[in-house]
A and B are shown apart, each in its own frame.
Chain A
Amino acid sequence: MTTDMNNSLYELPTESPRFVGQQVRRIEDPALVSGSVEFIDNVTLPGMLHAAILRCPHPHARIVSIDTTAARQLPGVVAVLTGEDVKRWCNPVVTAPEGWGAYCLAVDKARFVGEPVMAIAATDRYIAEDACELVEVEYEVLPAVPDAPAAIAADSPLLFENQNSNVMLQRVYDWGEVEPLFERADHIVRETFRWNRVGANPMETFGCISQWNLADNSLTCRGSYQTPSFMVLGRSASLNLPSNKVRIIAHPHGGSFGGKGGPRGTDISALLSRKAGGRPVKYIEDRAEYLLAGGGQSWDRYYEAALAVMADGTVTGLKVKLLDDQGAGAEGYGTISVAKPLAAFTGPYRIQAAQYDLTVVATNRAPTFAYRGYGPPPHNLVLETLMDSAARELGIDSAEIRRRNYIQPEQFPYTIPSGNEYDSGNYPEVLARALQMADYEALRAQQQTARDEGRYLGIGVVSTVEPGVFDWNAYRTAGVQGVGVPEGARVNFDMLGQVTVTVGFALEGQGQYTVAAQVVADYFGLEMDAVRVVCASSDAAPPHFGPGGSRVGVALTGAVLGACHKIAEKFRRVGAVLLQCEPDDLELAGGAVRMRERPEAQLGLADLAGTMLARSDLLPPDMDPHPGATHVWTPPGRTEPDEQGRCKSYLTAANATHVVLVEVDPDTGVTEILKYVIVDDCGTRLNPANVEGQVQGGVAQGVGAALLEQYVYTEDGQPLVSTFADYLMPTLHEVPITQKGAVVTPSPFTPLGAKGCGEGSIHITPAAVICAINDALQPLGVKVRETPASPSRIWNLIREAGT
């Protein structure tokens, strides 16, 4: 495996790993299936109170007065928090771009339905909610900005009075000579799209227990935190605390997908604890709160896009114009999702030049947050639909037009117009495998037969590049600073030779602790269940970011391998003393340090660790006697963005092709997925079962976005979604059982050659399904240009077309 990091630091000292690359069972699972994992709502602390939050019922309203008298008198109520307290003690949250953040409770005015207005801590949650009902709030309703087009209208009300418009960000990126390419094009294909809001909806909502220590003015928060270090910085800024006085203890959580939320709930419970004399305060968001105002809304977009195509099907240029609705401010870092597409703007294709015309606005909808994929799913729907439109216009098969435009295997590493570098891949091979597995020609024949019978079958063949291992530099467009995202791991042997790996992030489902155990077990020749993996609190953990942007499998592997390597060096030094040779005469193999020339002369790892900790008299005088090490890994070779946002950002580029067959019933508008084939290439598969789980889970979320899910708002900005009866999550009935295949092109840039693989499926499944639906609807002369392609939407399209 070649590597430009070029050192054995990132290799295993074994030719035949027993665990890495194998479909091993996850070390996380026995506790999870037994119901003994400490999810945050299972935790009770002595003296703990429970918070409930009163939320604004209007999209935009000035708060005239709040009367909490009756609530305070309810037995069991201990603390009451309003905007007045918050204004005195806090700052609005830091945002990117700057200046679009709110306080944790509405101060003076509220900007969306569900915005917290006041909060109560009581001896139990039932009482806290009773007390909220006794609070009287007088509102002066303000004119609302219900959607993005309204936000840029000339007479639009202002969301943030510190800004002079509702536009958070507006600029045009030009990468290469786009206009001349469009002038020279034989065909220009244009489309418009509306992508409606969807979001993460992990099965566990956000929860935390905050405790303000009044003696030293420090804060400890336990909770379902995806990114503890980020939470520390945010709380420090919003609560005016030194960052070393904020301690986050992340608990295992029930999924996250970027959209767990948490800053407001944490700040509110922290301040309630402060007001309650330092008693711990638990806040568990309920599902209605999550759906209305939690971290679960993302990607609210209007697109106009065009593709320049030559007569032979060569695609030369891409223009994308995006109007993006962030909702009531940038507190959820949803802005980053307009920046991420830069990392794979032109997908797997050799498109020479591109333009991105970007307008990001604030409205009176709930603030948007990260969601798995973080922006590319709608972008890829646009790109892939344009590819299909071009194919149709030129009379080329939809698989063939993609094949003709792929970046070729020998062109890697390949720099795309928007600046990112793809590490490696074999796109034609992935497509070929997918078409073969799907028996593509037979599918086309089946489609034709069905058409002859008056049935509407459609086929989607779409390809994607999934940028993996995110870097902050990818998000400069949104105002984010920084290059590099460090991830650390500490690997310690104890005196008896038992190993503990300490990381800074909690379990949330992707099986990363298993990956750490696989790597350590193979490195030191141990059994996997001899390796314990634990999460330290933010103040005790090595530098970390945790999961996000399909990074942690790769980053954690790098961190763990680096730490193992440092320990192996120490073991060789100790071994050299005990075996009376030079460290270079020794190697680590099969769970022992042994002489290269005389393998029977060996020392077990427990002996070495025990010697280091209990026989200092035997050690070299300058030796650090710790049989452990910390290593902090960061992606190599990342660069500062230029004025057009171009940089080496995401480290890896995984690739996939999805082939899907659907049938649309024109009488009901219902889409049924009949066949779904996926071939993906995410380099070395550290644990193939984990990869398949990520792929299939992403398909489910993608099918949800394509067919079912939508945060519906009325024309006046009122949300209509507050239960799972309104927000339709896909079930076993809707998610297709998929056939999966793999091509393996290792990354030359990562530890063990693995690529980020957590988001590829959601990147492309919506496009695959919608392209298939449009292929089915072609004889009817209609086309879906808005998600989700719900039965009513399709039925209306068909009716309007009068066919």
Chain B
Amino acid sequence: MTTRHQISVTVNGVNYQREVDARLTLADFVRHDLSLGGTHVGCEHGVCGACTILVNGASMRSCLMLAVQADGAELTTVEGLSRNGELHPVQQAFIDRHGLQCGFCTPGFLISTAELLQGNPNPSDDEIADALGGHLCRCTGYQSILESVQLAAQMMREGTIVDAASPAEA
């Protein structure tokens, strides 16, 4: 009922060769075929943004793409943000500013924030809202997310990670 295709994708620097159904979504492929469960699925119709990943450096909703469309692409998922066991500044900033509650929407926000700050190290509040206004979060009310993005931008500009060990000043 559906044709199968051989694809090759690089995810977080690792190459995978798989045979997949034509109809398999990229989200399901990453989550279930590759067991990278950090990419979450909140709506499967392109509205919530939880499934956002980077495809060749640009953010995409992986629920709206088919795995076969990613053949030959380089993908980055939330699992690929940290380097050598160190959290990415965006991840650290979300912890420091309480930018998450349940954390289900968070991987999508982290990916879009990383993309935003890559191109714009000092975004205004409006630019942040433009970049993240298409992501839904039902828990936080967004204020702490906005503050997290501002902090992440500052950390990345200054090349510092604010001391993660002192809880009292989070």
List A residues at the B interface (Cβ < 8 Å).
Answer: 18-19, 22-26, 28-30, 32-39, 41-42, 44, 126, 130, 200-205, 252-257, 286-288, 507-511, 528, 689-690, 692-693, 696-701, 723-725, 729, 731-733, 735, 737-738
Determine if B1 and A732 form an interchain contact, defined as CB atoms under 8 angstroms apart.
Answer: no
Partner of A202, one of B23, B24, B100, B104: B104
CB-CB under 8 A from A737, the residues of chain B are 143, 146
For residue A617, give the distance in angstroms from its CB to the closest CB of chain B.
40
Is B60's beta carbon under 8 Å from chain A?
no
Determine if A725 and B45 form an interchain contact, defined as CB atoms under 8 angstroms apart.
Answer: yes
CB-CB under 8 A from A35, the residues of chain B are 36-39, 77-79, 107
Bound complex: CA A698 to CA B87 (Å): 29
Is B98's beta carbon under 8 Å from chain A?
yes
Bound complex: CA A21 to CA B77 (Å): 36
Is B57's beta carbon under 8 Å from chain A?
no
Interface residues as binary, B1-19 with A (CB distance below 8 Å gives 1, 0 otherwise): 1100000000000000000
Determine if B94 and A29 form an interchain contact, defined as CB atoms under 8 angstroms apart.
Answer: yes
Residue of B whose beta carbon sits closest to that of A34: B82
CB-CB under 8 A from B167, the residues of chain A are 19, 22, 24-25, 528
- Known contacts being A24-B168, A29-B94, is A287 close to B45, with CB within 8 Å? yes
CB-CB under 8 A from B110, the residues of chain A are 33
Interface residues as binary, B130-159 with A (CB distance below 8 Å gives 1, 0 otherwise): 001111111111111110000000000000
Bound complex: CA A464 to CA B135 (Å): 31
Determine if B38 and A696 form an interchain contact, defined as CB atoms under 8 angstroms apart.
Answer: no
- Known contacts being A39-B37, A689-B170, is A696 close to B141, with CB within 8 Å? yes
Is B101's beta carbon under 8 Å from chain A?
yes
- Known contacts being A34-B91, A731-B134, is A723 close to B43, with CB within 8 Å? yes
Q: Which of B108-136 contact A (CB under 8 A)?
A: 110, 128-129, 132-136
Most buried by A among B42, B95, B141, B167: B141
CB-CB under 8 A from B72, the residues of chain A are none
Most buried by A among B23, B31, B37, B96: B37
CB-CB under 8 A from B78, the residues of chain A are 33-35
- Known contacts being A29-B94, A696-B144, is A723 close to B79, with CB within 8 Å? no
CB-CB under 8 A from B100, the residues of chain A are 29, 32-33, 509
For residue B170, give the distance in angstroms from its CB to the closest CB of chain A.
4
List B residues at the A interface (Cβ < 8 Å).
Answer: 1-2, 21, 23-24, 31-32, 36-45, 47-48, 50, 77-79, 82, 87, 91, 94-96, 98, 100-107, 110, 128-129, 132-146, 164, 167-170
Bound complex: CA A724 to CA B40 (Å): 16
CB-CB under 8 A from A204, the residues of chain B are 40, 42, 102, 104
Interface pairs (16), CB distance under 8 Å:
A25-B170, A33-B106, A33-B110, A35-B39, A39-B37, A39-B104, A126-B24, A203-B40, A203-B42, A203-B50, A253-B102, A255-B138, A697-B101, A700-B142, A723-B43, A724-B43
CB-CB under 8 A from A697, the residues of chain B are 101, 138-141
CB-CB under 8 A from B79, the residues of chain A are 34-36
CB-CB under 8 A from B32, the residues of chain A are 44
Determine if B129 and A733 form an interchain contact, defined as CB atoms under 8 angstroms apart.
Answer: yes
Q: Which A-B residue pairs are the 3 nearest by beta carbons? A: A35-B38, A254-B104, A32-B103
Determine if A201 and B133 form an interchain contact, defined as CB atoms under 8 angstroms apart.
Answer: no
The DSSP consensus for interface residues of chain B is loop
Bound complex: CA A528 to CA B87 (Å): 20
Bound complex: CA A681 to CA B106 (Å): 29
For residue A615, give the distance in angstroms from its CB to the closest CB of chain B.
35
Identify 14 new A-B residue pairs, CB closer than 8 A, beyond the known A32-B103, A203-B48, A256-B102. A25-B164, A28-B103, A30-B95, A33-B87, A35-B78, A38-B37, A44-B32, A202-B102, A253-B104, A254-B40, A692-B144, A697-B138, A729-B136, A735-B142
Bound complex: CA A164 to CA B115 (Å): 61
CB-CB under 8 A from B42, the residues of chain A are 203-205, 254, 287
Bound complex: CA A34 to CA B24 (Å): 25
Bound complex: CA A698 to CA B48 (Å): 19
Determine if B141 and A699 form an interchain contact, defined as CB atoms under 8 angstroms apart.
Answer: yes
- Known contacts being A34-B87, A699-B141, is A41 close to B41, with CB within 8 Å? yes
For residue B131, give the distance in angstroms from its CB to the closest CB of chain A.
9
Determine if A696 and B143 form an interchain contact, defined as CB atoms under 8 angstroms apart.
Answer: yes
Bound complex: CA A528 to CA B170 (Å): 14
For residue A28, give the distance in angstroms from its CB to the closest CB of chain B.
7
- Known contacts being A35-B77, A203-B137, A693-B144, is A509 close to B132, with CB within 8 Å? no
Residue of B whose beta carbon sits closest to that of A738: B143
CB-CB under 8 A from B144, the residues of chain A are 689, 692-693, 696
Determine if B139 and A255 form an interchain contact, defined as CB atoms under 8 angstroms apart.
Answer: yes
Bound complex: CA A302 to CA B102 (Å): 33
Determine if A724 and B91 form an interchain contact, defined as CB atoms under 8 angstroms apart.
Answer: no
For residue A257, give the distance in angstroms from its CB to the closest CB of chain B.
7
Bound complex: CA A257 to CA B139 (Å): 9
- Known contacts being A35-B79, A257-B138, A287-B43, is A22 close to B168, with CB within 8 Å? yes
CB-CB under 8 A from B2, the residues of chain A are 126
Residue of B whose beta carbon sits closest to that of A291: B43
Residue of A whose beta carbon sits closest to that of B1: A130
